[in-house]
C-alpha cells in the first residue's frame, strides 16, 4: 500500500472522529489493517466532541473529505425512503451549498485559458459564484452581444484530489475483495473502475458541453425538458460557457407551490423524461439530483423541466435495452418465469441457473409487494430486492447498469418527494410498451435495413473477387488453411497416451488372467502365479498413473 494512500485513510479516519462519527470507523471492517492506529490515536480519546446534530456533522465531514464523498452525499440525499428526514434535509445542502473557491481565482483561471484579459472576451463577469459544487462552480456573465450566460470553472487542484481518492477507493476495494466473501459477487474493483471512468468524464468540461448539445438535439421542440445552449466559441479545457436559464429549483417546494405548479403532472413528466432518454434516445442524464434540475413555470398547468450539469451521462447497448425493458414489463405483468428466463438469457446470472428455482425466488419477492396498490409500490425497492435475490444464484452486478440503477432510484425519490401519490408503473409502462412495439415494427426493420444497406452492398461487392481468388488458389494447389500445430500436437500426444494406456490395461488383463489360471490349476512353481499377479497390478497402476498425468496436462492447457 502506497504511503499517500495510507495517509489518506488515516485522514478519513481523523475527519470522521473529529465530527463525532467514530462509530463508523469502529463498524467498518475494512479498517482492520489500520484499526490499531484508531485505538492508540490521541484524537480518538481526547478529541473535543461536537455538539452539532448528527446530520450536520455528517454533511460537514463529507464536505471536508472532498469531491468524491460529496458526490456520495448528493446521491444519498434523494433517497428519503432510506434516510431519516434530518439527514436527508442536511445532505440536500450538498447540492448547491458546497463552499466556493475565491472569485479572483476563477477569473485568473479563465484569463489563463483565454490568453487574454477577461474584459476583452466578456461584457460582464460576476466574481461571486451563483453556485458551487464538488467538481466546479458557476459564475454569471454576459457575452459581448448581451446574452446572459453562466461560466463553469473547474476547482483548482481537483484533478490530483480526485486521483488520490480514486486510488484510495481501489485500495479499499482490493481489501474487500481479499477479506469479504460477498465481494466475489459484487466485484468492488470493477465498480471502482466504472466509477473512475464516470468521475474522469465529469472532469472534462468539453465532454460535458458535447453531452449538453446532444441532449438538446434529442429534446428539440419538446414540452417536457429544456436544455440550455452551449456557446462553443467561449469553451476551453476546464471552462464551459452555456446559456443561463431562470427557473425554480426543483427542491424549492414552497416556491413551486406558490407558482401554482401541477405537482402530479410535474412528477409524471420526470418519469417519462427518464424512460424516454433510456429507451427512445439511449442517452440519459445520469446525475439528476435536485441541484441540477429547475422548473420553468410560465404555464403552471404544464410545467417544463430544465436541466444543467451534463458531466455524467449513460448509454446502453441494444441487448441490455431490450432485456431491461422486457424485465420491467414482465415484473409489471407478474410473469415471473419470463423474468427468470430473461436473467439467464442476458447473462446476468450463470447459464446453468435453474429457471424454475429462480422463478420461485422472484415470485416470493414480488407477490407480497404487488398485494398493495401500485402507487404505494417503490420501483426502486422492487429492483433492489430482485438484485438481493440473485445472490443465491451467483448473480453479478452489471457495471453497464450501475448508472441506470442509480439514476432510476434518484428519479423515483425525486418524483415521490414532489407527489407522494406518484404511480411510477402507470407512467413508465406505456413508454416501455411503445418502445417495444416500435422495435418490432416494419418501419424500424426497414430503417435498420436502410442504415445497414451500404455495409451489405460492400460485402456483396467483395464476394465475387474473393471467391475467384479462392478457386484459383485451390486449382493451383496454393490454397492454405491455417492450422494451430501446437493444438494438433497436443491432441496427438493425448491420443498416443490413450493408446499406450489401453495397451497397459490389456497387458495387465492378460497377465492377471494367466495368474488366476496358473494358481487355479495348481501350476508349479507357485511363485510364478504370484509374480504374474504382481506384474498385472503394476501394468494397471502404470496405466492409471499415465491417465492421471494426461488429464492434468489437459486441464492445465485448458486454463492456460
Residue 141 near residue 239 (C-beta atoms within 8 A):
no
Per DSSP (E only), the strands in 212-338 are 225-226, 239-243, 248-249, 284-285, 293-296, 304-307, 313-314
Residue 73 near residue 291 (C-beta atoms within 8 A):
no
Which among 121, 123, 119 has a CA at the least distance from the CA of 146? Answer: 123
∠ CA 393-394-396, nearest 5°, is 125
Pairing of strands 225-226, 304-307: parallel
Residue 506 near residue 460 (C-beta atoms within 8 A):
no
Measured in whole angstroms, how far is the alpha carbon of residue 162 from the centre of its chain? 19
In sequence order, what are the residues at sequence separation of 6 or more whose Cβ sits closer than 8 angstroms to the Cβ of residue 485? none
In sequence order, what are the residues at sequence separation of 6 or more whose Cβ sits closer than 8 angstroms to the Cβ of residue 353? 340, 343, 344, 393, 394
Q: Give the C-alpha separation, 526 to 415, whole Å.
A: 95
Question: Which cell numbers in the block locate residue 297?
Answer: 413555470
Which residue carries 479498517 as its cell?
31
**In the annotation, is 287 catalytic?**
yes
Say whether 124 sits in a helix, a strand or coil.
strand
* Burial classification of residue 269, based on how many CB atoms lie within 10 Å of its CB (0-12 exposed, 13-18 middle, 19 or more buried): buried
∠ CA 87-88-92, nearest 5°, is 115
- The phi, psi pair for 154, rounded to 5°, reads -65, 145
- Which candidate in 22, 96, 165, 287 is catalytic? 287
Which among 407, 432, 444 has a CA at the least distance from the CA of 330? Answer: 432
Which residue carries 489360471 as its cell?
517
- The phi, psi pair for 296, rounded to 5°, reads -95, 110
Q: Give the C-alpha separation, 110 to 118, whole Å.
A: 7
**Positions marked active-site:** 287
Amino acid at each position: 500500500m502506497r504511503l499517500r494512500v495510507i495517509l489518506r485513510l488515516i485522514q478519513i479516519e481523523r475527519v470522521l472522529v473529529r465530527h463525532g462519527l467514530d462509530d463508523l470507523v469502529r463498524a467498518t471492517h475494512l479498517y482492520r489493517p489500520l484499526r490499531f492506529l484508531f485505538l492508540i490515536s490521541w484524537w480518538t480519546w481526547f478529541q473535543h466532541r461536537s455538539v452539532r446534530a448528527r446530520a450536520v456533522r455528517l454533511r460537514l465531514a463529507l464536505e471536508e473529505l472532498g469531491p468524491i464523498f460529496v458526490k456520495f452525499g448528493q446521491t444519498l440525499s434523494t433517497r428519503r425512503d432510506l434516510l431519516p428526514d434530518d439527514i436527508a434535509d442536511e445532505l440536500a445542502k450538498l447540492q448547491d451549498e458546497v463552499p466556493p473557491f475565491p472569485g479572483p481565482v476563477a477569473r485568473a483561471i479563465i484569463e489563463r485559458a483565454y490568453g487574454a484579459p477577461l474584459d476583452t472576451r466578456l461584457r460582464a463577469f460576476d466574481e461571486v459564484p451563483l453556485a458551487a459544487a464538488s467538481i466546479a462552480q458557476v459564475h454569471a456573465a454576459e457575452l459581448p452581444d448581451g446574452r446572459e450566460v453562466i461560466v463553469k470553472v473547474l476547482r483548482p487542484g481537483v484533478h490530483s484530489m480526485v486521483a488520490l481518492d480514486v486510488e484510495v477507493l481501489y485500495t479499499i476495494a482490493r481489501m474487500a475483495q481479499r477479506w469479504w466473501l460477498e465481494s466475489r459477487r459484487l466485484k468492488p474493483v470493477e465498480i471502482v473502475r466504472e466509477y473512475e471512468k464516470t468521475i474522469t468524464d465529469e472532469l472534462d468540461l468539453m465532454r460535458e458541453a458535447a453531452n449538453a448539445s446532444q441532449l438538446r438535439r434529442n429534446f428539440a421542440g419538446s414540452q417536457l425538458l429544456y436544455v440550455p445552449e452551449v456557446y462553443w466559441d467561449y469553451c476551453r479545457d476546464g471552462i464551459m460557457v452555456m446559456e443561463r436559464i431562470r427557473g425554480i429549483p426543483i427542491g424549492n417546494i414552497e416556491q413551486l407551490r406558490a407558482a401554482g405548479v401541477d405537482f402530479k403532472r410535474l412528477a409524471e413528466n420526470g418519469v417519462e423524461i427518464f424512460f424516454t432518454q433510456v429507451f427512445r434516445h439511449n442517452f440519459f442524464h445520469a446525475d439528476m439530483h435536485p441541484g441540477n434540475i429547475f422548473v420553468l413555470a410560465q404555464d403552471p398547468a404544464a410545467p417544463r423541466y430544465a436541466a444543467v450539469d451534463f458531466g455524467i451521462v449513460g448509454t446502453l447497448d441494444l441487448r441490455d435495452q431490450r432485456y431491461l425493458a422486457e424485465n420491467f414489463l414482465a415484473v409489471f405483468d407478474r410473469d415471473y418465469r419470463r423474468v427468470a428466463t430473461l436473467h439467464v438469457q442476458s447473462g446476468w446470472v450463470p447459464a446453468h441457473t435453474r429457471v424454475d428455482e429462480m422463478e420461485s425466488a422472484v415470485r416470493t419477492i414480488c407477490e407480497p409487494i404487488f398485494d398493495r396498490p401500485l402507487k404505494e409500490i417503490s420501483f426502486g425497492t422492487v429492483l433492489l430486492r430482485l438484485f438481493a435475490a440473485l445472490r443465491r444464484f451467483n448473480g453479478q452486478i452489471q457495471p453497464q447498469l450501475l448508472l441506470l440503477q442509480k439514476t432510476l432510484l434518484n428519479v423515483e425519490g425525486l418524483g415521490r418527494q414532489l407527489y407522494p401519490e406518484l404511480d411510477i408503473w402507470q407512467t413508465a409502462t406505456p413508454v416501455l410498451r411503445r418502445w417495444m412495439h416500435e422495435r418490432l415494427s416494419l418501419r424500424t426493420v426497414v430503417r435498420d435495413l436502410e442504415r445497414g444497406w451500404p455495409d451489405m452492398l460492400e460485402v456483396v461487392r467483395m464476394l465475387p473477387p474473393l471467391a475467384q481468388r479462392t478457386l484459383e488458389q485451390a486449382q493451383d494447389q496454393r490454397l492454405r488453411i491455417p492450422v494451430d500445430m501446437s493444438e494438433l500436437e497436443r491432441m496427438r500426444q493425448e491420443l498416443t497416451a490413450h493408446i499406450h494406456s489401453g495397451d497397459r490395461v490389456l497387458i495387465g488383463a492378460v497377465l492377471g488372467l494367466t495368474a488366476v489360471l496358473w494358481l487355479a490349476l495348481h501350476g508349479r512353481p507357485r511363485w510364478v502365479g504370484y509374480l504374474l499377479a504382481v506384474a498385472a497390478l503394476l501394468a494397471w497402476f502404470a496405466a492409471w498413473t499415465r491417465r492421471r498425468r494426461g488429464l492434468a496436462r489437459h486441464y492445465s492447457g485448458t486454463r492456460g
